[in-house]
Each structure stands twice: as structure tokens, then as C-alpha cells.
Amino acid sequence: MSYDVAALRKDFPILRQKVHGKRLVYLDNAATSQKPQAVIDRVTRFYEQENANVHRGVHLLSETATKEYESARARVARFINASPQETIFVRGTTEAINLVANTFVRARLRKGDEIVVTQMEHHSNIVPWQLLCEQVGAKLRVVPVDDNGDLDLAAYAAALGPKTRFVAVVHVSNALGTVNPVQRLVQEAHAKGIPILVDGAQAVPHMPVDVRALGCDFYAFSGHKMYGPTGVGVLYGKQEHLEAMPPWMGGGDMIRSVTFEKSTWNELPYKFEAGTPNIAGGIGLGAAVDYLQKVGLVAIAEHEHRVLEHATQQALTIPGLRIIGTAINKAGVLSFTLEGIHPHDIGSLVDRDGVAIRTGHHCAQPVMERFGVPATCRASLGLYNDTDDIDALIASLHGVVRMFA
């Protein structure tokens, strides 16, 4: 069956609207994706028909909410080839990384030890490790990227030294689109006995992800970037790690028993889910997973690759345009600058034509510093984007160039 973008677009009600009288061309999917009607309807149905707290009540609504919430967890787990016990619901990628930093890594980090990250990381995969290193007296080692935006694999191997206690790497760069060879990075870290976390926020919506095949110790992603609700995400962790880790937050649902003398902890995954969770968000995330699987991750990846190739070719027709990030293995991100024109001006002007892109440092300031720019424009693809969207962006950019000329 052919990939029918027109049919898919009809699943997203927000795409029917006009912006400044023009058709909305939404190219800011790396920041957040739009939501299909199936996800919107599922969240609405929860609040209209099923709303109750989970895991505590014996009445019908509570039992129904619990059943639907845990069913969503099981489907999300299968989506990444994990077990439900290894699938922790969190607020998003940021919380997942902070959880690992403050439980698993803190317990094994000492003064003089090292944590390895890469130059292309999102701030959420830099700052938690900086804070931890400052508190313990450890050091952050940074693996550079080359002029194409590819990770320096020789430098990565060299960075894995006797003091390395942990590695944290991004699967797909939100600022460059680079797809890192995660399986190789995991194997090299494990060969030296070093555990590794993968930030998968920009990977899960765009390609099949199998955490067992990757072999990573932890994998983190956010619901809102994969056509699900905001405020919910997932931390996958190998069960043996999660069993050994202490809780991060204390409160309801993560306990087995509480006395003033001692508390004991609930089984996985609930040990890391203190308090009332984002029930509607978890159920909505399950609906988003169902939707992605219906469309097909392989088909999505192939389609977005075709659209990215078209975008790259057309961008090169624009005078003064510089593409930031030209790795051979890229996901659907086109970051660029226009000579003599500030990215914020570009973003505001193309918005007048109904085109939504992101401008700024994209929470990846070290990447901007690496390429000698304060900011870039970023067009990032979703499953509903097509070459017509790209052509609208390119036409608008030509207009911007003419205006400033």
C-alpha cells in the first residue's frame, strides 16, 4: 500500500486551519508533534467516561482506569520491545534522565570519575550530568562532532577510559538530524563495563526502536514528540538496574508499607512512580503508539527520508543558505542559516506565509558554538509532511532573501 499523506493529514484536525490566511505548514515537529483525532478522542473519552485514580480503588471507575492505564503501558513496552516492569511512566525525557542521574549514576560516581556525553546533546542530556559532577567532584568528558555533524567515533572510543562510570548519548540529534550508530556505541561502552543511557526523544517517532537489539541500559523518550499528549514520557531501564536502584521521589503508590521506623518499596515499575500519575497522558500515549503502529514506522522513516532529500536539494537553490548538519545518516531535520539575516527574522517572516519552523539554539547551545552560529532555523518533519510543505517553505525563504536584498 502506498503512503497516503493526504489521508494521514485528515487525521490531524489542527492541520485544517489557516495561519495569517494561509494553509498551515507545520515544520516544528522536533519541538512537539501535532495530535491525531484518535489520540484526542481517547483522552476525551477517559475524562468523559473513565476518570478515576488508579491502583487504589475497588469501585468500577477506578478498576476501569487502572485497566486502561496498565494496558497502555503494556502496549508502549511492546512498542520498544521491553517488558512492562521495565517501562516507567515519567513526565518526559528530561525527567527520565534526571531520574537515572540521581539514582543509578549518583550511587556509583566518586570524585575524579568521568561521565561521557557528546557535543550534539540536548541540554536535558547535559545539565543533569553537570549538576551531578559538580556535587560529587567528577568530570564531564565531551566527544566532538566533525564538520558534517557526525560523531567522532575514534574520539568516542578514546574517551572510554578507566575513570568512565557512565555514558549518555543521543540517538538522533534534534539540532542536526544526525542518527548516531547507537548499537556500536553501546557495544563499545559495554566492552569496558560501562553502562549507557540513550536519549531517544527524536528517534522513537521516526523509526523502529528495539531497546533489546540496541542493548542499552536505559532509553528515554517523550510522548508529545510522538503524536501523544504532553506531560508524559517513558524511561526504559534493564530490570536488574531498576531493581537495584533506590527510589527517586517518595510518596503514594511507590510504597509497599510505611511506618515511622521504616518504609518499603513497591514492585516495578511503581517504585519510580510516586503520586497520582498523568493517567490521561499515559492512556493517550498508548493511543499514539497504536496510531504509529497502524501507519508503520518503516513506512514513516522511508517517507520522511524522501521528503528530507527533497528539502535538502531545494534548500541549496537559495542564495546564501548554509545547511548545518550534513551527516549521511540523518533523520528529518533541516537546520540552516541565511547569510546576513537573523534566524528570528526568518522565522517571523515565513510564519506570515503560514509556515511554522523553529529558530534559536534548540536547547543545544554547544552545537551552535561548534558550528560558529548563535542560532539556526530548523524545519523538522513529521509523518504528515510532504514535498508541498517543503515547497511552501522554500518559496517563502526565497521571498525573505529578496526582501533583505
| Active site positions, annotated | 363
Round to whole Å and give the CA distance between 113 and 136. Answer: 9
Phi and psi of 19, rounded to 5°? -120, 120
> Which of helix, strand or coil describes residue 327?
coil
Is residue 298 within 8 Å of 204, Cβ to Cβ? no
Q: DSSP strand E in 206-364: where?
A: 218-222, 233-237, 255-258, 263-265, 321-323, 333-338, 355-356, 358-360
Cβ within 8 Å of residue 61, ≥6 positions away: 50, 51, 52
Phi, psi values for residue 117, rounded to 5°: -130, 180
CB atoms within 10 A of CB 217: 23
- Enter the DSSP assignment of 272: G
- What are the DSSP E strand ranges found in 238-332? 255-258, 263-265, 321-323
Residue 384 to residue 355: CA distance in whole angstroms: 14
Residues with Cβ within 8 Å of 196's Cβ and at least 6 positions away in sequence, in order, are 166, 167, 168, 169, 185, 186, 189, 190, 216, 217, 218
Length of the chain measured in residues: 405
Closest CA to 228 of 45, 36, 74, 91: 36
The partner residues of 82 in beta bridges, in order of sequence, read none
Residue for grid cell 548545518: 324
Distance (Å, whole) CA 9 – CA 11: 5
Can you read off the three cell numbers belonging to residue 76? 508502549
| CB-count exposure of residue 340 (10 Å: 0-12, 13-18, 19+) | exposed
249 alpha carbon, distance to own chain's centre: 23
Q: Cell 553537570, residue?
A: 130
